[in-house]
Copies of this chain bind each other. A is one copy, B any other.
């Protein structure tokens, strides 16, 4: 009953019109041969892979789950074959550089691919999930030998990497980790320790697995400044099994087809990646890309939720509606998408999903600009904005993804609570994204404390300049004038609130921590106002085409029904003046 159709029309709109990416690609040497048509073909082909190969495995994979048997993990039926198809289709290497054997395509197109993969099979997507991040990390920090040994294998998809970070006592606080690494005579290291929640720590998709492990050297200072990063393969270059053992897999709320492993390293052989004690910095190369991808999981789930709720609500008939679309005759029972409460839910699903798509793809496009742009100043600017947007995309999108999955489930009524329509799986799968790769609370602190207050608001101001520029352009359109005015006003309010927090932090250092979650949501809403102002401007005057008419309707809905939450968040930022008591011990 669950269905998925790649939202190609909206993806093209975002890539070609909202971002006008092809014009930027022409200015980037790496992508100068890429045009709209080729990009659209890649996205279309990716959509075929997602809906044809991954979607059919989604519900069965959830029901079957992974099996653990004496250190071995079997993934659900069809998962290994889907991975081979993924590799054969060149999808693993989509955004890897051509010189490393990749396809050399932009992060932007990879974002479209990932959105569709997450919409259709989040659990499966966990296996290749960090491959691109590991590729970037190894490329940036690996010695020539390590790059030689593993870079091509990651790009070809022959070896899948994992991230081994969490330990029982060290979750959000990586600084508490205890795994040890001892130097061996041959320049390698012997890694020992226990790692938790390692996604794809063991599986049957590839022969070899490359663990990226955080551990302490003997002379490591305590805390997060004493952590180093190591590459620890499951099979050593000479074919021997390394001393890495999977002790079990987790029974989870969702993404049940993904093997979340407990791993033991017992004097396992590995190599240092990057500088001693600077493992966190090296890992962050990976985590930034991973955080954007987790945000795209929220988008993917929102899209799946929207599609399924929209179809069900158009077909299910219950009760007479107070109003019907013009020309529709009375019936004993109307499609439920006539009912006002359902219309609100569906419009919220559509508007947030499409708005997040613009923002998420924008972030990916900024990463392309930061890496491949011709002008160093513009590259640095794009990098700054992408770094600011990353925690926003991660936390805001994943929260919306889960919330919208629940809203969609509600549209199905009792049918939403049973397995048949699989919307309950979307709810379960989407929930993890609020937790991993840095919980949403940590993202909020990162955004406000580090990315905004940490640089005196410089990058935020720069970002808001983009928003204000859009407001100025859109202001002249009669259909968009009100949207543009509201966008401008909320940019001002956001600026004032930020200045207030900066000033207050000096007197009350805890204040920004109390306000961080609301600040993140406020920025998310203002960014969506930007997204919808631009979408409305691009749609203005083209309402003969239902696609653009829908864009203007969604924009009107966003400004009337969704943007008011920004006032609420401003009020809560104001409320955060009041200290919070401590809870009883």
Q: Contact residues of A with B, CB < 8 Å?
A: 166, 169-173, 175-176, 196-197, 222-223, 250-254, 260, 310, 313-314, 317-319, 322-323, 325, 332-333, 335, 337-344, 346-347, 350, 402, 406, 409-410, 413-419, 424, 427-428, 431-432, 434-436, 439-441, 444-445, 509-510, 513-514, 516-517, 546, 550, 553, 556-557, 560-561, 564-565, 567-568, 571-572, 575-576, 578, 580-585
**Set of chain B residues within 8 Å of A402, measured between Cβ atoms:** 406
Q: Determine if B561 and A341 form an interchain contact, defined as CB atoms under 8 angstroms apart.
A: no
Q: Determine if B560 and A578 form an interchain contact, defined as CB atoms under 8 angstroms apart.
A: yes
A316, closest chain B residue (CB): B171
Name 10 interchain pairs, CB-CB below 8 A, sorted by A.
Answer: A171-B415, A175-B319, A176-B318, A252-B418, A253-B427, A337-B582, A343-B582, A347-B581, A410-B435, A556-B581
**Set of chain B residues within 8 Å of A514, measured between Cβ atoms:** 340, 344
A441, closest chain B residue (CB): B341
Q: Determine if A583 and B431 form an interchain contact, defined as CB atoms under 8 angstroms apart.
A: no
- CA of A428 to CA of B254, assembled, Å: 11
Q: Determine if B318 and A172 form an interchain contact, defined as CB atoms under 8 angstroms apart.
A: yes
The 3 closest A-B pairs by CB, nearest first: A568-B568, A173-B318, A340-B513
Q: How far is the CB of A445 from chain B (nearest CB, A)?
A: 7
Supplied contacts A250-B419, A347-B580, A410-B440, 6 more A-B pairs, CB within 8 Å: A171-B318, A314-B585, A341-B516, A557-B581, A561-B572, A561-B575
Q: Determine if B568 and A564 form an interchain contact, defined as CB atoms under 8 angstroms apart.
A: yes
Q: Determine if B582 and A556 form an interchain contact, defined as CB atoms under 8 angstroms apart.
A: no
Q: Determine if B431 and A409 form an interchain contact, defined as CB atoms under 8 angstroms apart.
A: yes
Q: Determine if B314 and A580 form an interchain contact, defined as CB atoms under 8 angstroms apart.
A: no
Q: If A222-B332, A585-B314 touch, does A416 touch B435 (CB 8 Å cutoff)?
A: yes
**Set of chain B residues within 8 Å of A176, measured between Cβ atoms:** 318, 332-333
**Set of chain B residues within 8 Å of A567, measured between Cβ atoms:** 567-568, 571
Q: Determine if B444 and A417 form an interchain contact, defined as CB atoms under 8 angstroms apart.
A: no
Q: How far is the CB of A25 from chain B (nearest CB, A)?
A: 32
Q: Which of B171, B414, B513 contacts A436 (CB 8 A)?
A: B414
- CA of A298 to CA of B250, assembled, Å: 28
Residue with the greatest number of chain B CB neighbours at <10 A, chosen from A196, A341, A568: A341
Q: Determine if B564 and A572 form an interchain contact, defined as CB atoms under 8 angstroms apart.
A: yes
Q: Determine if A427 and B417 form an interchain contact, defined as CB atoms under 8 angstroms apart.
A: no
Q: Determine if A322 and B513 form an interchain contact, defined as CB atoms under 8 angstroms apart.
A: yes
Q: Determine if A323 and B575 form an interchain contact, defined as CB atoms under 8 angstroms apart.
A: no
A439, closest chain B residue (CB): B413
**Set of chain B residues within 8 Å of A343, measured between Cβ atoms:** 580-583
Q: How far is the CB of A10 from chain B (nearest CB, A)?
A: 13
Q: Determine if B445 and A253 form an interchain contact, defined as CB atoms under 8 angstroms apart.
A: no
Q: How far is the CB of A182 from chain B (nearest CB, A)?
A: 23
Residue with the greatest number of chain B CB neighbours at <10 A, chosen from A323, A417, A431, A435: A417
**Set of chain B residues within 8 Å of A347, measured between Cβ atoms:** 580-581, 583
Q: How far is the CB of A246 from chain B (nearest CB, A)?
A: 16
Q: If A431-B427, A568-B568, A581-B553 touch, does A166 touch B560 (CB 8 Å cutoff)?
A: no
Q: Determine if B222 and A166 form an interchain contact, defined as CB atoms under 8 angstroms apart.
A: no
Q: How far is the CB of A16 from chain B (nearest CB, A)?
A: 22
Q: If A333-B176, A341-B513, A568-B565 touch, does A413 touch B435 (CB 8 Å cutoff)?
A: yes
Residue with the greatest number of chain B CB neighbours at <10 A, chosen from A347, A418, A550: A418
Q: If A341-B445, A567-B571 touch, does A253 touch B428 (CB 8 Å cutoff)?
A: yes
Q: How far is the CB of A402 from chain B (nearest CB, A)?
A: 7
Q: Which of B166, B409, B410 contacts A441 (CB 8 A)?
A: B410
**Set of chain B residues within 8 Å of A578, measured between Cβ atoms:** 556, 560-561
**Set of chain B residues within 8 Å of A572, measured between Cβ atoms:** 561, 564
- CA of A160 to CA of B581, assembled, Å: 47
Q: Determine if B313 and A583 form an interchain contact, defined as CB atoms under 8 angstroms apart.
A: yes
Q: Determine if B410 and A439 form an interchain contact, defined as CB atoms under 8 angstroms apart.
A: yes
**Set of chain B residues within 8 Å of A251, measured between Cβ atoms:** 418-419
- CA of A310 to CA of B582, assembled, Å: 11
- CA of A571 to CA of B250, assembled, Å: 44
Q: Which of B171, B313, B350, B560 contacts A413 (CB 8 A)?
A: B171
**Set of chain B residues within 8 Å of A409, measured between Cβ atoms:** 431
Q: Which of B323, B344, B414 contacts A171 (CB 8 A)?
A: B414
A517, closest chain B residue (CB): B341
**Set of chain B residues within 8 Å of A428, measured between Cβ atoms:** 253, 428
A434, closest chain B residue (CB): B410
A340, closest chain B residue (CB): B513
- CA of A260 to CA of B419, assembled, Å: 13
- CA of A323 to CA of B169, assembled, Å: 21
- CA of A427 to CA of B340, assembled, Å: 27
Q: Determine if B413 and A172 form an interchain contact, defined as CB atoms under 8 angstroms apart.
A: yes
Q: How far is the CB of A339 from chain B (nearest CB, A)?
A: 7
Residue with the greatest number of chain B CB neighbours at <10 A, chosen from A222, A413, A582: A582
**Set of chain B residues within 8 Å of A346, measured between Cβ atoms:** 583
**Set of chain B residues within 8 Å of A414, measured between Cβ atoms:** 166, 171, 196-197, 435-436
**Set of chain B residues within 8 Å of A310, measured between Cβ atoms:** 583
**Set of chain B residues within 8 Å of A175, measured between Cβ atoms:** 319
Q: If A445-B341, A517-B341 touch, does A325 touch B410 (CB 8 Å cutoff)?
A: no
Q: Determine if B413 and A582 form an interchain contact, defined as CB atoms under 8 angstroms apart.
A: no
Q: Which of B344, B435, B565 contacts A517 (CB 8 A)?
A: B344
Q: How far is the CB of A255 from chain B (nearest CB, A)?
A: 9
Q: Determine if A417 and B432 form an interchain contact, defined as CB atoms under 8 angstroms apart.
A: yes
Q: How far is the CB of A354 from chain B (nearest CB, A)?
A: 14
